Amino acid sequence: MNTTPPNLVGTVLLVSRDEIASRKLTDAMQQLAVSVEVCVDISAFADRLSRRKFEGVVIDLALGDQGLIPEGLACLEHVRASASNRTAVIFTLTSSSQETAHALKAGSSFVLQRPLTSESIGNTLKVAYRFIMRERRRYFRYPVVVPVVLNRKTAPAVFGQTVNISERGMALRTLTPLAPGSEATVQFTLPDPLLRITAESKVCWNNEKGEVGLSFHFLPFDCASQLQSWLAQKLEKQLPQLGPLDHAEGGR
């Protein structure tokens, strides 16, 4: 689950025992409205990674032993294998050109090589910022309440109300129980600006409150593109007070 507060661009998970480096990175990211959660223990890092979605991950390759597969590189591989965080923006802290080469080969998005300076961190974050924003948009859920109809092939239509929507699916409330795995064509209209959505969907979960989670397994390309734009507008409206956005995006 993504629990990034709506007034933040993203949340980054950092694993390092280097207090000075952690403080420098935290200060720099907070200036761009990116929060940082710091772990000094690899097992705690793995636990947090499995429990929630992060827009970015920072891994210090100085972690642990220097055996066949150093623990820092093992952490990187663990992120890429994670169901929720495999597309997260990965930063690695390295101490040599050799470590930098290993990190890039293993799939690191960006590398910060010691000694860290405010300039080197700032330059890297300016480039990485748009990727963090893109990851945030991919999992952004916008709360919206509109009528919804689910047309089923072998059962009567179900009526309800949306709870929130993302690029990949939505949550809704309905008085009719819907079992996980069941499929339906979902139809609804989003407001401001008006956008009609018709998508083939599958029920992923339900709860005792009458809430149901749907994933879109087929959404026409033009409709998907319009939904992405609609959600991007809503996300940007939630972040009007964050001056660093214009600076980081090159005055966009």
Q: Domain coordinates of the chain in residue numbers?
A: 10-139, 142-237
* Each residue's pLDDT expressed in tens, for the chain with a length of 252 residues: 556 666 788 899 999 999 999 999 999 999 888 999 999 888 889 889 988 899 999 999 887 654 434 677 788 888 988 888 999 999 999 999 998 998 898 889 999 999 999 999 999 999 999 899 889 888 888 999 999 999 998 899 999 999 999 999 999 999 998 999 999 999 999 999 999 999 999 999 999 889 999 999 999 999 999 999 999 888 888 764 544 444 444 433
What pTM, to 2 d.p., does this model score? 0.74
Closest CA to 88 of 122, 42, 37: 37
CATH of segment(s) 10-139: 3.40.50.2300
Which residues have a Cβ under 8 Å from the Cβ of 163 and sit 6 or more positions away? 143, 145, 170, 171, 172, 173, 211
Evaluate whether 114 touches 103 at the Cβ level (below 8 Å).
no
CATH 2.40.10.220 fits 142-237, yes or no: yes
Q: Rounded distance, CA 57 to CA 45, Å? A: 10
pLDDT of residue 216: 96
pLDDT of residue 117: 94
Please count the helices (runs of H) and the strands (runs of E) in the chain: 7, 12
Q: Rounded distance, CA 229 to CA 55, Å? A: 19
